Amino acid sequence: MPSRREFLLAACSTALGQPAYGFPTASVTTTACDSCNADSPTQSQTVKLFVCGDVMTGRGIDQILPHPGDPTLHEPYVRSAVRYVELAEAASGAIARPVDFAYIWGDALAVLDDERPRARIVNLETAITTANDAWPRKGIHYRMHPRNVACLAAARIDCCVLGNNHVLDWGYAGLRETIEALHAASIATAGAGRDEPEAAHPAVLPSGPEGRVLVFAFGTASAGVPHAWQAGPRGGVDLLDDFSTRSVERIAQQVAAHKRQRDIVIVSLHWGSNWGYEVDPARREFARRLIDVAGVDVIHGHSSHHPVGIEIYRDRPILYGCGDFVNDYEGIGGEEAFRPELTAAYFVTLDAASGRLAELALVPLRMRRFRLGRASADEARWLAHALDRESRAFDTRIVVETTNRLVVRPK
């Protein structure tokens, strides 16, 4: 059986870190941090957002939904998307097919209902298309049938970030069909477009009677986005050349062109490798400068297949990597030390007037049979321990509430 790395290497930039493993001792709290309590806004003065990492509803996931598309693949080891369903079933048990559109979200739907975020934002890492024009010399091509877009509507997703390394897997026709399918389902998009201006335009989401949430999204070469995908007249991804001062200034100009008073600004970045906890200094400096110079309130990072460390800088959260949220990797071995089956829903609560962080909480979940379920207490503690260990370098701590909800605190 090929390893997980062999399945994914052709499509993704991969660099293994050397994590320290172990399990946490019990750490329980039921209150927010002192710095937040000192000036805690009421619920009516705050905006809560849901964000997560990669949502990959193509390939094997697409095959279990009510309208599976053509399963043909062009991968080195697998020629049919059905094989990914078979791998998951061999690992965890049979999946009754077809499932309904809500199936993949599982317990996450109740979590979202309990948390009641104003906006739900995901990185959608698949094309939504029937196109057969696979991007040449690319090892992995994700796609979901357009009639299965209802699975995103089932979770009431408000915005799909498209600035990633799979949105053009099926060419420019596939990109156009992806955007049209999402917009027809009343789902906003950011980070890619049918022309350069659309790719650069933020998603604009209502956050109350006076404010908005602006989502700017960018792909980077560090996450495997091909340079050829840079947005132009035919469309493409809003691609960052680097993490330089020039890139910061470019984003600052885009933000300034759209931001109004009481707007909350999210910059969503597909960056970094798939495996490992290391955050290189260039990315950390870039994120901080986006907050300092561009007035960004939330850095929403993704590409990592597992959650990585979190920083709170000047009362703004920097999520360096949220980990995969939905994927079809179940049953593929090779990276078990990272516990990639464990993921989290991130809930960012901000002061509506200033954009300052009021609370950052994570709800741990686990993927099994292509469905999200609540993580066990042991699994929640494992994830809390890993994130706490990796976040200490940023003077940030992770603690576990009695409900297994994880709360992020400044040190």
- The three-state (H, E, C) secondary structure of 135-190, written as one string: CCCCCCCCEECHHHHHHHHHCCCCEEECCCCCCCCCHHHHHHHHHHHHHHCCCEEE
> Which pLDDT score is estimated for 42?
54
Give the pLDDT confidence score for residue 209 in this predicted structure. 77
pLDDT for the residue numbered 208: 79
30 Cβ contact partners less than 8 Å away, ≥ 6 residues apart:
401, 402
Position 252: which residue type? Answer: A
Mean pLDDT per 10-residue segment, the chain (411 residues): 43 33 30 39 80 98 98 96 98 97 98 98 98 95 98 98 98 98 98 98 91 97 97 98 97 98 97 96 98 98 98 98 98 94 98 96 98 97 98 96 94 81
Q: Which two tokens stand for residue 309?
A: 């460390």
Nearest-angstrom CA–CA distance, 381 and 378: 5
Q: What percent of the chain has pLDDT over 70?
A: 89
Domain boundaries, the chain: 4-410
- CA–CA gap between residue 351 and residue 353 (Å, rounded): 6
pLDDT of residue 44: 62
Q: Which CATH number fits domain 4-410: 1.10.760.10, 3.90.650.10, 2.30.110.10, 3.60.21.10?
A: 3.60.21.10
The pLDDT value given to residue 411? 81
166/142 Cα distance (integer angstroms): 6
Burial 184-205 (b: 16+ CB within 10 A, else e): eeebbbbbbbbebebbbbbbeb
The region, left, alpha or beta by phi > 0 then psi within -120 to 50, assigned to residue 121 is beta
> Both tokens of residue 32?
């927010």
